[in-house]
Structures are given as structure tokens and as C-alpha cells.
Structure 1
Amino acid sequence: MDSQADHPKLEIFFFPYILGGHLIPMIDLARLFSSHGVKATIVTTPHNVLLFQNPILRDQQLGHAISFVTLNFPAEEFGLPNGCENELTTTNGDMFTKLFMAAMKLQDPLRKLLSETKPKPDCLVSDRLYPWTANVTDGLGIPRIVFDGSGCFSHCVEESLRVYAPHERVVSETEAFVVPGLPNKIELKRSMLPDYVKSQNVFSHFLNEALEGEINSDGVVVNSFYELEQAYADFFQKEMKRKTWHVGPVSLNNRSIIDKVERGIKTSIDEYSCLSWLDSREPNSVLYISFGSMPRITSAQLLEIAHGLEASDHPFIWVIGRILDYSSKDKQQVEMALLPVGFEERISKSQRGLIIRGWAPQLLILEHPAVGGYMNHCGWNSIIEGVTAGVPMITWPFSSEQFYNERFILNIIKVGVSMGNEHWVPLKELPRVTIKSDKVASVVNRLMGSEETEVVQMRKTAAEFRDKAMQAFQEGGSSYNNVDAFIQELKSRRKVQNGHL
């Protein structure tokens, strides 16, 4: 009989992009696969290891085979401070460019690591923003799987825009057009499109490389579940020819309170204080507001949001990240977090609201019964976590593929209302005040205080998708089975390579 040594545990290397919106779900993904019996090795920087060492240690204590290996991040070479790769202050245009260039320098250290690993890993799961990993894995004969930080829907929209270019046939930025060839009628405006879609720039060429890398990969792992975007999962696989495994929502791998709290950057509020505040609220009465880790809101827009929330008279938890002010003479982006005079004192005294500056225990907040709405920027992590919690949303996209994701929420799964922003914001451009306080109050009141049929239906639909997400992730569900199918395919590939046919 063959010994265990003859058949070592399947090993997958996970190589996340360095920023939190990519790093957090990839860590969840690695932990998920290790819970299915895989040896999971996470390749990241020493600074990022510090952010996740506690949950990984807990997994190891449960007997899961999961660990880190580190690659030194060349920050100083590009004039960046050490440990900058997960600091929110690096997300202005110039710093982001330097960060991006520094990340490209990880290619040779990764090649050295993989070539020296014996036996070689069965697979590398690489973030989509590392298309150059294809050169590394091809040379070493290691299968490469792309981890997609968004759902299939946004990539189907991207493909249609690339192939048909309907935005080139409209005469103004505000004229609506239909995105051709998709299973549903989807309308956008030129003003909602990224600058790298409307005209070719450096990032356009990079994304073309990423697309080429995805096409030539051995498949794509998606943080979504099949029942959420069935038509677009099929379109992505059949029409766009991507081999795909939907394995999410990966955030559901965080089952304990401590796991939900310790997901990256340390939270800025004690989780028990936050939960205690929520416990005192009626079911579905609290609006949760968070626009992610990338600052896209000016201090002037912040004031409009504050006035609108106060006028709406609904309880809220508002996560205020780093707000950028562009008013200084030298045009440097300065951190600001200005609120109306007396605003915090009034909401604190009345217990109307809770303000969190920095990082929040988002999973704990969203799943609390008191939370009945979620205002967010339509990043995929926010969407999938909101869907998993069964919470209807107020959509306020700013950049990246967020306007595509907004259409998914509004037109496909129909669990949200739009704040009405129609202007994509580049990193290097001054964000404008696009939404006034009266509009903020009106939209909040509609979602949180209205009993109109459409809003009631949204709540029902959101709850149904929450249940479907749970079922997909549990043993026997579609995502659970996809994880096992992925593992079995790698095992079969190993047998073929070892000549055990």
C-alpha cells in the first residue's frame, strides 16, 4: 500500500494583490481551501502577514495546513515608506502608481520561491492584477488560476464594451446607451465609464494584459455563488470561454466573532460596544454606511452626507475612512474628516448614530438584525457581503467597475436604490460634490422608512439571496461542491503528471 509520503497533501499557493480589497477575500479563500483539506500557502509581504497572523494561527490550532511565506516589498526603491502596502494613505494617484510599480517587482522573488519549493505546488492562485505570474508559472509547469475580485457580471459588461464599443456612438457624456449582447437589458452613460475604457492609457494596456492572462489561465475562481448571477456565470463560461468555479461568498468562512473582527486592519471600535449599540435598536431600523478603503469623497461631500443623515431622522452607523481635501495651495491631498459643527454631539446625545473612524467590524454589523440598509460604493466585496447578510442597499459608485456593479444590484437582483451619482472619478481628479443633502435624506427615507411595494419586495428578495448564499456555502451546496471539484481536478492532474493513469 502507498504511504502518505507517496501522496503528499495537495498544496496550493495563494498570491493576493497587496491592497486590502484584494487581500482580505484571498486570505478568506486560502482559509476556505485549507478547511477542505488542502495545504494552503499564502505568499505576501511581511507587513501584510502581521494583519492576518491571528486568524491563521487559529486555523493552525484547528489542524488546518495553512501558513505564510513572505516576499520583501521594494517600497524604498520607489520612495515609499516601509509597510505602506496596506495603508489607506497610499491610495492617491501618485502613490498608487508607485505602489503598482513596486508590486510588479515581486516577479523575480516569486519565481525564485516557486522554483525552490520542493515538491512544486500543485497550483498558483494569482490575483487578476498580477498578469505577469503567467510567465512565472508557465516556465515552471505550474497550473495558474486567476482569482477574480469581482463577480462575473461586471466582466461580461467589460467584454461587451470592449467588443462593441457602444459608448463611441453617443453624442454626449449623459446620453444613455444599451450594453449589447448580454442576457438582460443594461443601460449605462459615458460619464459612468472608467477613463481607461473611453480612451487608451497606461492602465488600458495593463488591463489588456490582465485579460490576456485570464484567457490563457487554467481557470478563474470567483468570490460569488452560482445562484446569485446564474445567467452571467453561464455567459462568462460559455460565451467568454472562461473555465470558472464559483466558491463564495468566501466571507462565510469567518464563523466566530473573533474571525469576523480580525480581518486585516485592526478595527477602530470595540466590537462589543458596537453590538451593544445595535442591540438597543429595532429590527431593520439602522442604516450602515461605508464606502470602502479607497478615499473618493471630499470633505465638502462629507458635509452633505452628514446633513442628509441628520435630516432623514433614521438611526445609522457611519464608517468614515480617510477623507481627502484638495484645497491647499500646493494641491496635496490632506486627510480631513470634517463634520458639521455640533453634529457628533447631537447624534451622540440622542443615540441617533454611531460614527466609526477607520476600520469597522463590517461582517458583525451587517448580519445584526437591527441593520436594515447598507449605503456603499458598489465594490464587489461590499456587494457580496451585503447580499450574504440579506440587507438591501443604497448604491453610490465612484470608480473602477463600480457603476457596472450598481447595475447588477438595481437591474439584475433588484435589491437596491440608487443615490444618483453618474460621474466616474479618476484617482488624480478632484472629486466633486455630486449629491446634495436633500437627495441623501430622500433616498435614505425611501429605503429605511418606506412601505411602498417595491421596497418591501427588495427586503424579501434580499432575504432570499441571503438564504441562497448560506445554502451554496454549506456542505452539498453549489459553492461547497465547486471547491471540492476544483480540488479533485488538481488531484487528477497530479496523477497524470506522475504517470498514475
Structure 2
Amino acid sequence: MEKAELVFVPSPGIGHLASMVELAKVLVDRDNRVSITVIIIRLALDSKISKFTESLTGNSISTHIQFIDLPSDKTNASNDHPSKFVTSLIESQKPHVKEFVSKLITQSELNLKPPRLACFVLDMFCTGMIDVANEFGVPSYIYFTSSAAFLGFQFHMQDLHDKQKVDLTELRDVDAEFEIPTLMNPLPLKIFPSVMLSKDTLPVVLHHVRRFREARGIILNTFEELESDAVKCLCNGENPTVYPVGPILNLKGHAQDVGSDGSSSYKDIMLWLDDQPPSSVVFLCFGSLGSFNDDQVKEIARALEHSGHRFLWSLRKSPSEGKIDFLVDHEYLQQVFPDGFLDRTEKIGKVIGWAPQVDVLAHPSIKEFISHCGWNSILESVWFGVPVATWPMYAEQQFNAFEVVIELGLAVEIKMDYRREFLIGNEIVLDAKEIERAIKSGMEHDGRKLGRLSEKSREAVMDGGSSSSSLTHLINDMMIVAAENIFII
């Protein structure tokens, strides 16, 4: 059968780009008829994307994947919420993407056996590119980088808003619960993502969700055994076809970790872990955007010291208030800790900046993961069988915390409704005793259920596994589309 060309459009942001690259590698490894062009839209301030793409080009990850940089838009920095300025940026780049794909088609005329343009695969924040795909007469697939349950939540909220005229922003301070089709337990309003409760950002979210319904399919970074009820609920005939193909993870760890600030730092961290007893270390890491004010840092430090447990703490300074410099790593100053903290905990603890998260979670000394509950981090914790203590901050992380604590029973709670949004401080400071309680609870967590799911996550992506089978169905659908398309790349 003829070859198929897929056009990938990730949203600007290293987490989303890296995840889509992993999906691209999975697709081309599975079927040599597939070629993929990844169109990179970059934020002017984000140097991590440049480092990441340079590492990929240097490593020659596949002859079937090419990367195309669009011109950097120096005007895209804004004090708007990220969901708003990213959406605006994507809209502004639509003519550039159309121009590139047109050139791709024109230049292919010299190729004796050119592939056919099959489809666009779009990040969940790049729904505006559906318009470009439509102009070329090809369908779009959405790559949804959160959970199946959260996708169902978004569909349900859109239905409530559009069909039942429920204004969620008027309920922001109401103590209420909602029945969500993809959840077994009612979801408290306080767990809703902040963007769903703001008059500024709710229209943006609902716009994307409406466009999800225009897609030919939605690719989910999850696996059926983890979210079986949610996946079944989504297969109701009213939504686009869903393809749970996860977990899609970069398990090479340090080799391609864009946060690395040097091999000596990496070696130092791993050597320290090697010196710790098995299942003895609490690992604290809050993602590339996770940070705390000075008062909260002191409370965390007191909790760690009083708990008596060994710890590895990845800590970053908060970005400047009111400025959009969250794309820059900020080193922490020792003065912020309680007097003598580093000296007293020298033998049992280590405070670092960047952390090679995959390699740390894979290390046998790690027993507990205190996390911001990004979906990718949750999938990694499941893969390595490390219990999570939930400390969500922004985006859909409160929802993720609810799912892993209440729905799945895989984690312990620190505070599920904690929030520290972009550019917005958080006056709530969790007490050291509350944090210490969660640390001890996580270290004593019965990991048998998590261990079983860890095995199932690995089986899912093996030949014959649920995600592997779903991937086969996805590729077959894409090849059918390619065979029908008149455009030849």
C-alpha cells in the first residue's frame, strides 16, 4: 500500500512537544509506511524547545520524522493567561502552516513514490489547525495529553454550558458537586480547573472542546486497564472515536531530558540515590512550572526534617510576580530554608534544581513521589510503581489528583484543591504537620494495586496489549484516509 504522510502540530511548550515526539516515534516504529512532519511553533522566551529539537536532530531519531521550525513570533509574549495567548499564537500561525504544507506537496512532484497526505495530528490546544487540514481535504486527530476521565469531564461541561445553559463562572464560590459520566464519584466544584470558572478563560476552553468533536478521532495518552470505565463511557457513539495508546513516555530519561543542566549534576544525583537504602526516599518534584513562595518552602522543609525520612527535593524559585518568565529556570537561594536545615539534614536529604524525573522514579531507593499531578508524571509513577502524594497547582492537576486518590485509590492526598496558577500567587500556606502527615502516609501506602497496574501498563504497549491493538486500529484508519486523499506529498 502507498505511504502516508502525517502532519503533527504540537502546541508551544516543551511538555506537549516532547510527548508528541514520543507519539511520532511510536507510530513510525510500528509501520514503515508512515512518515511524519512535526511543525514546531515556538515561544520566543522558551530556550528549552531549541535545545530539545537540537538534541533530536543530533540523535537522528528516525529517517521517517522531520522537524520544521516556523518563524519565531517575537510578539507572542503576553500577560494573558497561557490558554489565551497560546490560542492566539496558533491562530496567527495558520497561514504559515498552510504555506509549508503547500510547498511540501509541490516539492514532492520529483519523488517517484511520494506518500499521500493522510491527516493532521493536533495537540489539544491547536484545534484552530483543523481549518488548515480542512483546506487540504484531510481529517484531523486530536492528541489529548490528559486522562480519558478529564476528556469526558470537558465534554460534559460543554454540554451543560451549551445545551442546559449552565454558567460555571457563577458557581465559582458555591459548595457543590457534579455527576460526571466518566467518574464514579461526584466531583466537587472546588476541584474544577480554574480556567473552567473564569469568564476570561472559559470561552477559550469551550471553543477547543467544541472543535474536539470535529476531529475524526482522539488519541489518548492512557490505557484501558487504568481507566476502563472512562474509556467505555467515551465510546458512546456521540463522540469521535477514541484511541487509548498510552502510556506514551520518554523512558530514555537523562539521554533526552531537556531540563538537564549538565551531566555532572545528573551523575551527582544518581550517585546520591545509589547510596540510599531500597524504598527509603521521598522524591519531591513539581514539574517545570511548579514553585512555591518562601513561607511555603519553609513549611515543606520543616515537614521533611520532622518526618525523619530521606528525601530528594527538586526545588525552583517562583517567577517574578506579574511577569511571564515562568519559562526560565530560577535557582533557589539557601537563605530561604529554616536556619540550619541543610546542615541538619545533610546525611538524609538532598535539595536540587532540575531533576531527571524518569531516572529518579526508576531508581530502587525511591518509595514516594510528592507531585504536582501532571498527567505525564502520574503515568510515570504508575509505570514505575511509585505511590504519589498529590499536591496539584494549575491546569487540570486538581482533577488528576481527585482521579488518582478518590477514583483509583492509587495515591494519598496532601491537598487536592491547592492552586498556584500562572502569574498568580497563592496566599494559602500548608502547615508542616499537614505535609508531614501525607509524607508518612505515602511511605506506608499499600502499593499492591499500584504494582498490578504497573505491570498492566507495560503489557498494554506490548504486542497484543490493549494500547498496541488500539494503535493498530489508529494506523489502519489513517492509511484508509491516505488511500482516499488526492494530495500526494
- Tell me which interval the TM-score lies in, with the shorter structure as reference length: 0.7 to 0.9
Matched position secondary structure for 2:389: strand
One-letter identity of the residue aligned with 2:68: V
1:261–1:361 contact (8 Å) kept in structure 2: no
2:122–2:140 contact (8 Å) kept in structure 1: yes
Q: How does 1:350-429 map to 2 (within 5 A)?
A: 350=347, 352-357=348-353, 359-429=354-424
| Corresponding residue for residue 89 of structure 2 | 102
* Aligned-residue offset at 1:184: 0.7
Aligned-residue RMSD, C-alpha: 3.0
Structure 1 pair 16–172 and aligned structure 2 pair: CA distance change class (3 A): closer
2:414–2:434 contact (8 Å) kept in structure 1: yes
| Corresponding residue for residue 69 of structure 1 | 68
| Corresponding residue for residue 86 of structure 1 | none
Q: How many residues align?
A: 460
Matched, 1:156 2:156: no
| Corresponding residue for residue 85 of structure 1 | none
Give me the whole-angstrom Cα distance separating, in 2, the residues matched to 1:52 and 1:110: 18
2:143–2:219 contact (8 Å) kept in structure 1: yes
Structure 1 pair 438–15 and aligned structure 2 pair: CA distance change class (3 A): same
| Corresponding residue for residue 286 of structure 2 | 291
Give me the whole-angstrom Cα distance separating, in 1, the residues matched to 2:474 and 2:392: 33
Matched position secondary structure for 2:37: strand
Matched, 1:35 2:36: no
Question: Where in structure 2 are there 5+ consecutive unaligned residues?
Answer: 109-115
Q: How does 1:446-461 map to 2 (within 5 A)?
A: 446-448=441-443, 450=444, 455-456=445-446, 459-461=447-449
Range with bigger deviation, 335-344 or 276-285:
335-344
Q: Which has the higher contact order (CA 8 A, sep 6+)?
A: 2
| Corresponding residue for residue 322 of structure 1 | 317
Give me the whole-angstrom Cα distance separating, in 1, the residues matched to 2:301 and 2:425: 20
Q: Give deviations 1:11-53, integer Å, cap 9, x for gaps.
A: 2222111112212211111122122222222111476253133
2:323–2:423 contact (8 Å) kept in structure 1: no
2:133–2:140 contact (8 Å) kept in structure 1: yes
2:119–2:481 contact (8 Å) kept in structure 1: no
Q: Give deviations 1:457-489, integer Å, cap 9, x for gaps.
A: xx1111111111111111221212222221122
* Aligned-residue offset at 1:215: 0.3
1:261–1:364 contact (8 Å) kept in structure 2: no
Range with bigger deviation, 177-186 or 239-248:
177-186
* Aligned-residue offset at 1:356: 1.8
One-letter identity of the residue aligned with 2:175: E
Q: Which residue of 3, 6, 15 maps to 1:9?
A: 3
Q: Which runs of 4+ in 1 moved over 6 A?
A: 165-172, 330-334
| Corresponding residue for residue 175 of structure 1 | 175
Structure 1 pair 333–114 and aligned structure 2 pair: CA distance change class (3 A): closer
Matched position secondary structure for 1:322: coil
Matched position secondary structure for 2:405: helix
Structure 1 pair 433–370 and aligned structure 2 pair: CA distance change class (3 A): same
Matched, 1:223 2:218: no
Matched, 1:265 2:264: no
Range with bigger deviation, 297-306 or 118-127:
118-127
* Aligned-residue offset at 1:146: 0.6
* Aligned-residue offset at 1:182: 4.2
2:118–2:485 contact (8 Å) kept in structure 1: no
* Aligned-residue offset at 1:398: 1.8
Structure 1 pair 174–391 and aligned structure 2 pair: CA distance change class (3 A): farther
| Corresponding residue for residue 3 of structure 1 | none
Question: Where in structure 1 are there 5+ consecutive unaligned residues?
Answer: 1-6, 81-89
Q: Which residue of 453, 460, 465 maps to 2:453?
A: 465
Give me the whole-angstrom Cα distance separating, in 1, the residues matched to 2:175 and 2:192: 12
Q: Which residue of 439, 446, 451 maps to 1:444?
A: 439
Give me the whole-angstrom Cα distance separating, in 2, the residues matched to 1:126 and 1:169: 28
Give me the whole-angstrom Cα distance separating, in 1, the residues matched to 2:87 and 2:301: 34
One-letter identity of the residue aligned with 2:29: S
Q: How does 1:13-28 map to 2 (within 5 A)?
A: 13-28=7-22
Structure 1 pair 177–96 and aligned structure 2 pair: CA distance change class (3 A): closer
Matched position secondary structure for 1:122: strand
Give me the whole-angstrom Cα distance separating, in 1, the residues matched to 2:377 and 2:183: 24
| Corresponding residue for residue 50 of structure 1 | 51
Give me the whole-angstrom Cα distance separating, in 1, the residues matched to 2:6 and 2:138: 10
Give me the whole-angstrom Cα distance separating, in 2, the residues matched to 1:161 and 1:39: 36
Structure 1 pair 155–96 and aligned structure 2 pair: CA distance change class (3 A): closer
Matched position secondary structure for 1:270: helix
Give me the whole-angstrom Cα distance separating, in 2, the residues matched to 1:389 and 1:488: 31
1:193–1:403 contact (8 Å) kept in structure 2: yes
Structure 1 pair 247–323 and aligned structure 2 pair: CA distance change class (3 A): same
| Corresponding residue for residue 184 of structure 2 | 184
Matched position secondary structure for 1:407: helix
Structure 1 pair 410–167 and aligned structure 2 pair: CA distance change class (3 A): farther
* Aligned-residue offset at 1:287: 1.1
Structure 1 pair 341–298 and aligned structure 2 pair: CA distance change class (3 A): same
* Percent sequence identity over aligned pairs: 21
2:193–2:398 contact (8 Å) kept in structure 1: no
Relative to the length of structure 1, the TM-score reads 0.83
| Corresponding residue for residue 98 of structure 2 | 111
Structure 1 pair 167–112 and aligned structure 2 pair: CA distance change class (3 A): closer
Give me the whole-angstrom Cα distance separating, in 2, the residues matched to 1:145 and 1:196: 24
